[in-house]
Amino acid sequence: MSGESRYETSKEVSKNAFKSSKYVILASGENFPDALSATPLAHSLNCPILLTPSTKLPKSILKEILDLEAKEVIIVGSFSSISEDIEKEIKDLVKVRRIGAENRYETAALIAKEVLNINGSSKIAIASGENFPDALSSSAILLKEKAPIILTPRDKLPRASKEVLETMKFEKTYIFGGLEMVSKEIENELDNPIRISGTDRFDSSVSFAKQAFENPENIIIVNGSGFADALAAGSLVPKLKAPIILSEKDSIPEKVRKYLFEINPKKIYFVGGDNSVSSKVAGNILSILEEKNKKPDVTFSLGYNDEKSKEMLEIINKVRKEAGLYELKYSKELEKAAKIRAKEISVSLSHTRPDGSLWNTVNPNVSGENLIQLNASPEEVIKIQLGIEGQSKNIKKVWEYHKSIGVACFVDNDGKAFWVQVYGV
């Protein structure tokens, strides 16, 4: 699930999770605190979180609000987070309510009080209001415990956060992050504190997942370098009953690799485009699960594997036929281009060619390219590509400039299989 920007990605997540929703939460996509604090409210109201820039509401976000047939839009944050002009624009069409205060700590406290009123929970969470990594993937545990989240600087609880903590004797107070995020002094002020942290944000995401789910069938994977995709994905957690796991763009952190091997999920959902979590990572994850399931190895020969390329072309057209689309015509010229690119990506798995030029310089008639490194059958490769937004669109969407195709599979001296589909006019 991805879009051209964080705002479009939040819209795509909403579309996948909700056909309609009485409520919509609108949060800033420029800073993390408000959207993070709003995650438990979204769980409580069973609604999506949509992101917006501070001063101009994207047309696609307004359209999504209307498509959801929302009765109320809840804006979280002050006027500096989401402007009064945006509020007025929405008010002309839908009822609007704002939960916001002078700063992120006061806003989080207001949201937390509302969540407690809705859920009646005796659990609460606290995280850094200065840095986002440790709380990025906390959505699953917040859902499990029906807990709101309040924010704090490292060393001193803000008055607004204290007021929430004084509303009752909490059965559990989760601290998200290590001592460098929330100090021991603050921990000592809390009711029944339970600290959840890891050696880094990726390790922390595994810790959150283990705390929230014993053996989840679904996993949501997002890039851990930014905050927007993870926060937008928060509304998927209750729908999929899945934790959010963080990954790097082009590699799987070792703790994440071990966790995926251990739980062996049935489905993995990627939020964000190929620039967030690459097809290389998707392929590596499938390889992990194949190893776990001990599937028989697919036999490859060194160099080009034309029979497997032919089989892949047949599968692509079968997928397109089932989707009610026209078949792509085999092109000898595009197959030649695909073979060039397959050998090139065995050196550098990238849409940039070894000489620094872009992929589309390989042939003047190309209009799209899919690439992946994966030692699996053509059917398995297509299966994983259909789960990657950009690659799925090339395979099964109507593009007026996608009429023909060339496919190649190249195996290097290490036995790694590199697949390329080149689409053309």
pLDDT band of residue 158 (cuts 50, 70, 90) is very high
- Residue 176 reports pLDDT greater than 70: yes
Q: What percent of the chain has pLDDT over 70?
A: 96
Query: What is the rounded CA–CA span in Å between residue 342 and residue 278?
Result: 17
Q: Hey, what amino acid is at 262?
A: E
Specify the pLDDT at position 93: 93
Tokens describing residue 125? 């969470």
Average pLDDT score over the chain: 88
- Residue 136 reports pLDDT greater than 80: no
3-state secondary structure (DSSP) of residue 329: strand
Specify the pLDDT at position 135: 78
Specify the pLDDT at position 87: 95
Q: Hey, what amino acid is at 413?
A: N
Query: What average pLDDT does this structure show over 354-372?
Result: 92
pLDDT band of residue 168 (cuts 50, 70, 90) is very high
- Residue 358 reports pLDDT greater than 80: yes
User: Given the structure tokens 């415990």, which residue do they identify?
Assistant: 145
The residue ranges of DSSP E strands in 242-302, in sequence order, are 244-247, 267-271
Specify the pLDDT at position 270: 86
Specify the pLDDT at position 109: 95
- Residue 106 reports pLDDT greater than 90: yes
Specify the pLDDT at position 105: 93
Buried b (16+ CB within 10 A) or exposed e, 103-115: bbbbbbbbbbbbb
Asked which of 12-16, 291-295, 380-384 is least confident by mean pLDDT, the reply is 291-295
Specify the pLDDT at position 388: 76
Does residue 108 come out as left (phi exceeding 0), alpha (psi in the -120 to 50 range) or beta? alpha
Asked which of 34-38, 49-53, 305-309 is least confident by mean pLDDT, the reply is 34-38
Specify the pLDDT at position 13: 87
Specify the pLDDT at position 332: 94
Q: Which of 334, 387, 338, 395 is nearest to 365 (CA)?
A: 334
pLDDT band of residue 304 (cuts 50, 70, 90) is very high
- Residue 423 reports pLDDT greater than 90: yes
Specify the pLDDT at position 293: 66
Specify the pLDDT at position 299: 79
β-bridge partners, 98: 75
Specify the pLDDT at position 236: 87
The Cβ of residue 280 has, within 10 Å, a number of other Cβ atoms equal to 20
Entry pTM? 0.66
Task: Provide the terminal-to-terminal Cα distance of the chain, rounded to the nearest Å.
Answer: 26
Q: Hey, what amino acid is at 339?
A: K
Residue 59 to residues 80, 84, 272, Cα–Cα distance (Å): 20, 17, 20
Specify the pLDDT at position 327: 92
